[in-house]
Amino acid sequence: MTEILINGQPVQARPDQTVLEAALAAGFYVPYFCWHPRLSIAGNCRMCLVEVEGRGLDIACNMPVTAGMRVLTDSEEVKAHRKAILQFITLNHPVDCGICDKAGECRLQDYYYTYNGERSKSVEPKLRSSKHHGLSDRIVLDNERCILCLRCTRFTHEVSKSKSLGVERRADASNIRAVEDGSLDRDPYSDNIIDLCPVGALQSRSFLYKARIWYLEPTPSVCPGCERGCTVQIWHRKAEWRLKALDPRQNTCIARVTPLENPAVNGAWICNKGRDLARIFERARAEHPMLKGKAVALDEAVQAARALIVAARRPAALVSNWGSNEELAAFKRHLGEMFATFVKIDAAPEPGERIADELLIRPDKNPNTACARALFGDGPPILPEGSDLVLVWGEGCDFATLPRGARIIFLNCYLRPENGHADVFVPLSTQTERRGHYTNFEGTVSEFQPCFSKPDSVADAAVLFEALAAPVQARP
C-alpha cells in the first residue's frame, strides 16, 4: 500500500490505483463525467482536476498515486477551475432540463448546482446541432446536449466490441455518429450507452418522454432472458404516484429496465433483451381460472385439480425452468413424491436472437434451469407411457405431444389458446408480482422482488402447490 495525503489526511492506496480511485474509495468526492470504473481512461472532460502541492493542477483520473503526494481536492484553485470547466461544458449545452429525460439523474445538473450555480458568463447564442438523430432503432441522440465524454464510443470499442460509434468532425462541431448505417443496431448491448451517458444526449426510444424519473422507483429483479440471470432494476411508478387520472396500465407498467451493478454476474451491463422485459411480462395476462375453457373461481379450479390428482394413478409433471428456487422447492416438497417429474425448457431462442457471446448472452434462454435440473434431474422431458394426468407448469409445451387421453392441469401466466384446452387451468402470478430467487448457470443465486401486486384471481405457484397437496396427505 502507498500512503498519500488527500486534503491533509493520510489515505492508503494500492500502487496501481489512480488518485481519483483512491480519493473515491477514501470518501473524498471528486466530480467526473468521462471516467467510468469499467472503461478506459479518456481524461477529456477535465472535471476531476485536483491540485498536487508543488505540481499544480492535473486530472485525478489519469494520475498514478506516488508515495507521499499531497493532493488537494477542494482548494480555491481547484474550485475555480471546476467552476470554469462547468462554464465551458454548459456553454453550448441547452439547459432544457424541463423536457430532458435525464433530469433528476443527470451528472451535469447535479454538478452545476454543486460546483457552479451561477449564470453563464457567455452572451453568445448557443450553437445549434442535430436534435433527434436516430443512432439506431432503439436510441436517439441529441447532439446539443452531448458533452463528448466519449463514454459511449469507448463502450462500443471496449465492452461490446461492436466498434459501432465514432466521432465525426472536430472542435465544437464534433458529433457522435454510428460508423456506418445500422452499425449500432447490430450491437445487442447498445442500450447500456444510455445509462453511461452522463447527460441526456442518448435517449431510449421506448422511454422517451414516458415519465419523469422522480415519479419512478426501481425494484431489484433478475432478468429471465437467459441463464446468465443478470441483476436488473425494474423502474415503475412509485406507489404514491399511481394516479387515478392515469390509465391503470400506466400505473402498473414497467417504465424501463436498467442494470443493477453486480460484479459476480453481469458487472454493470445488461443486453437489450433485458431492457425489453416489458415484452415478456406485459403480454396479455390470463386472469381467470378455467375448467375446460369455462371461467370459474380460483377455489373451484383448485378443488377440481385436487380431485384429478387424487383420482390419477400415474400422474406426471412438467415443471417450469422459469419457476423460482422457492417454487421449485415447494413443488418437490408437496408434490414431488406423487408425480413423475421432468424439467421442461420453457423458452427457445427467438428467430434472429443472438445465441451466445463472450460477454453476457448465454445459449439457454431460461432463468432457472440450473435449480430445476438440480432438483428434478436433467433427463429429457419424455413422459412415461400410460400417464393419465399431466400437470404442465409454464410455457413451451405442445399439448399434442402429451400422452393421448391424459387429463391436463395447466398452470400459466399468459393468455394462450391452449389454456382453454386444459381440463383445469390456473393462472399464475408473474415474476414482477412475487418475490423469489433464481440460480444462474454458474450457481450464483440472485433475488427478485415484487414490483406490483397480483390480481386476486391468480395464484402464487408455491401457495398453489401446497393447496394441491393438502388433501392427498390427509387421505392416505
| Backbone phi and psi for residue 420, each to the nearest 5 degrees, phi listed first | -75, -15
C-alpha cell read off for 287: 386472469
Least distance in angstroms from the C-beta of 268 to another protein: 23
* Residue pointed to by grid coordinates 417454487: 327
C-alpha cell read off for 243: 394516479
Indicate whether 167 belongs to the interface with another protein (CB under 8 A). Answer: yes
Indicate whether 121 belongs to the interface with another protein (CB under 8 A). Answer: yes
Nearer to another protein, 123 or 382 (CB): 123
Q: How far apart are CA 424 and CA 301, in angstroms?
A: 6
> Are 340 and 315 in contact, with CB atoms under 8 Å apart?
yes
> Are 421 and 193 in contact, with CB atoms under 8 Å apart?
no
Nearer to another protein, 68 or 379 (CB): 68
Least distance in angstroms from the C-beta of 458 to another protein: 54
Of residues 209 through 228, those in contact with another protein by CB under 8 A are: none
Query: What does the DSSP assignment read for 15-67?
Result: TT-BHHHHHHHTT-----SS--TTS-----S-TTEEEETTTEEEEGGG-B--T
Indicate whether 147 belongs to the interface with another protein (CB under 8 A). Answer: yes
> Are 205 and 341 in contact, with CB atoms under 8 Å apart?
no
Buried b (16+ CB within 10 A) or exposed e, 227-256: bbbbbbbbbbbeeeeeeeeeeeeebbbbbb
Site string for another protein, 56-75 (x = CB under 8 A): xx-x--xxx-----------
Least distance in angstroms from the C-beta of 374 to another protein: 46
Least distance in angstroms from the C-beta of 90 to another protein: 9
- Interface pick for another protein out of 26, 38, 88, 287 (rule CB under 8 A): 88
Q: How far apart are CA 88 and CA 93, in angstroms?
A: 9
| Amino acid symbol at 432 | T
| Amino acid symbol at 50 | V
Site string for another protein, 39-58 (x = CB under 8 A): --x-xxxxx-x------xx-
> Are 410 and 342 in contact, with CB atoms under 8 Å apart?
no
- Interface pick for another protein out of 25, 67, 95, 173 (rule CB under 8 A): 173
Nearer to another protein, 158 or 442 (CB): 158
Least distance in angstroms from the C-beta of 113 to another protein: 18
Of residues 372 through 391, those in contact with another protein by CB under 8 A are: none
Which among 79-87, 192-200, 272-280, 387-395 is the span making contact with another protein, rule CB under 8 A?
79-87
**In Å, what is the CA distance from 284 to each residue of 26, 236, 248, 416?**
50, 18, 15, 9
Nearer to another protein, 87 or 444 (CB): 87
- Interface pick for another protein out of 24, 48, 69, 85 (rule CB under 8 A): 85
Query: What does the DSSP assignment read for 54-86?
Result: TTEEEEGGG-B--TT-EEESS-HHHHHHHHHHH
Q: Are strands 70-72 and 49-52 parallel, antiparallel or unpaired?
A: antiparallel
Least distance in angstroms from the C-beta of 192 to another protein: 22
The region, left, alpha or beta by phi > 0 then psi within -120 to 50, assigned to residue 117 is left
Nearer to another protein, 80 or 243 (CB): 80
Can you list the alpha helix ranges (DSSP code H) found in 133-266?
151-158, 192-196, 248-251
> Are 216 and 255 in contact, with CB atoms under 8 Å apart?
yes
Indicate whether 122 belongs to the interface with another protein (CB under 8 A). Answer: yes
Nearer to another protein, 47 or 271 (CB): 47
Nearer to another protein, 92 or 320 (CB): 92
How many residues form the binding site for another protein (CB under 8 A)? 38
Nearer to another protein, 148 or 464 (CB): 148
Q: Would you give the DSSP letter of residue 383?
A: P
- Interface pick for another protein out of 169, 249, 404, 475 (rule CB under 8 A): 169
Least distance in angstroms from the C-beta of 69 to another protein: 13
Nearer to another protein, 67 or 243 (CB): 67
Least distance in angstroms from the C-beta of 99 to another protein: 23
Q: How far apart are CA 461 and CA 471, in angstroms?
A: 17
Nearer to another protein, 173 or 310 (CB): 173
Indicate whether 456 belongs to the interface with another protein (CB under 8 A). Answer: no
* Residue pointed to by grid coordinates 423460482: 324
Nearer to another protein, 43 or 349 (CB): 43
Nearer to another protein, 71 or 296 (CB): 71
Least distance in angstroms from the C-beta of 102 to another protein: 18
Interface with another protein by CB under 8 A: which residues? 41, 43-47, 49, 56-57, 59, 62-64, 80-81, 84-85, 87-89, 91-92, 121-124, 127, 147-148, 150, 166-167, 169-174
